[in-house]
Amino acid sequence: MLLGTLELPNGIPAKDVFRRVLAALRPDAFQSCFVSWLESLRQAACEEGAVSQPVFAVDGKTNRRSHDRKRGLGALHAVSLWASELGLSLGQVACEEKSNEITAIPELLRLVDLQGAIITIDAMGTQKAIAQQIVEGGADYVLAVKGNQESLETAIADTFLAETEDDFASGKVRKHETTETAHGRTTTRTYYQMPAPRNLVDSAAWAGLRTIGMVIAVCLRDGKETVEIRRYISSLGMGVRRFARAVRGHWGVENSCHWILDVVYREDDSRIRDRLARENFAWLDRFTLSLLKQHPSKDSIAMKRRSCGWSDDFLMEVLTGKAT
């Protein structure tokens, strides 16, 4: 198949050639080669799914066995941007450990055209400079607020508590509720959204801040009930269903991306320990996952991967996006 597709005057390269190339390429330069390809996939996916404002989830994942103690190399932790509704990985930046995500996220956002998207980030990335960068990039943000912004989290909690105690008499709060039953548990999520109060802590320092949100998730499993509360700041205008879609889109990165990389690609079992090769290979995992998700077949990702190995025609369909 390679000989029929590419000019290979020296024959088909051995696996050691691929290893040496991946160990020599700069990851940022390697990723830049995929920009136009990904942009075409993004446009096609948006048109097919009629998504006017896609949700881009920024999240980190650790390849647990990629460490090398003898060389003092820690496990690879990569922060990537996943377009949840489109099934596309649009960029990746590596850092040595999770605590370095704050510096990796701005680099990642510079790699991608953010125009018209909603960027969602966990609490670690809830930083004023990152919010400013997102707004300047022409996007909106939905940022989780936890202990790293303690005073802000407390202010949001108190604001919604006051509205609750007053039975939402002010009319400012919008509410949306969903119920899902799967994997032996029933989860009810209640989404609340309201305009950000003018006296909210440091409100002027958060670029484009317009609304605050809260999600209460009640999970019932085996007769036991658990409750989780999450709070958010956002540059989105009022529209609680859009806020709910952004929050759910961020949580979806675990199932639609990270779980597949762990279980189907077995990424955590990888023992690639060269600093550049492991980052480049992690990017190839995400890129090929994006290609497989664009293929219209209803088969699982695992079956699509097998089919690529069984059939050159199917492989070319996945690579080109066109039936042969």
For 169-186, how does the pLDDT look when each residue is reduced to its tens digit (9 = 90+)? 888 999 999 998 887 889
The whole model's pTM is what?
A: 0.88
d(CA 236, CA 106): 20
What's the pLDDT score for residue 18?
Answer: 92
Question: Following DSSP, what letter does each residue of 272-286 receive, concatenated?
Answer: ---HHHHHHHHHHHH
pLDDT of residue 96: 67
Q: Locate 276 and state its tokens.
A: 């550049």
Which regions in the chain score pLDDT beneath 50?
none
Beta bridge partners of 219: 187, 226
> What is the predicted pLDDT for the residue at 136?
96
Of 296, 299, 294, 324, residue with least CA distance to 311? 324
- φ, ψ for residue 274, nearest 5 deg: -70, 135
Q: Are 258 and 59 in contact (CB under 8 A)?
A: yes
Nearest CA to 87 out of 125, 29, 44 is that of 44
pLDDT, residue 99, reads 60
Q: Write out pLDDT tens, residues 220-243.
A: 988 899 999 999 999 999 999 999
Contact 276, 23 (CB under 8 A): yes
pLDDT computed for residue 231 by the predictor: 96
SS3 of residue 303 by DSSP: helix
Which H or E run contains 304?
helix 301-310
Angle, CA 96 vertex, CA 137 and CA 270 arms, to 5°: 105
Q: What confidence score (pLDDT) does residue 252 get?
A: 79
What structural domains and CATH numbers belong to the chain?
2-320 (3.90.350)
Position 201 scores a pLDDT of 87
